[in-house]
Amino acid sequence: MVLKFFIDGKSFECLKQTVPPGASYRSAIENAVHLSNVGAAKVGSNAVVTCDDIAARDLLSHARTSCPGAATRIAEAFRAAGLTP
């Protein structure tokens, strides 16, 4: 199942630093759509992350330890899809 969740810039940067390089689910972070003004830097911008529920579960496991904002948004996406986070 595909999940989409909105994440604020601070939480996005935290999650990006938490996910190890080379992890298969890192592509969800790298392919996020950044919501910022035209010409603005991606750093610190809000983003929409799209990934399957398996990648989202992996992201959630990383977020729970050090990125509470990201963990909350990922868990909300699971609940909205009728899944248990």
- Region 23-50: mean pLDDT is 79
Residue 2: per-residue pLDDT: 95
What is the residue extent of each domain of the chain? Answer: 2-80
Residue range 52-69, pLDDT digits in tens: 999 999 999 999 999 999
Q: pLDDT-based confidence at 35, cuts 50/70/90?
A: confident
Overall residue count recorded for the chain in this entry: 85
Taking a C-beta distance cutoff of 8 angstroms, is the pair 50, 3 a contact? yes
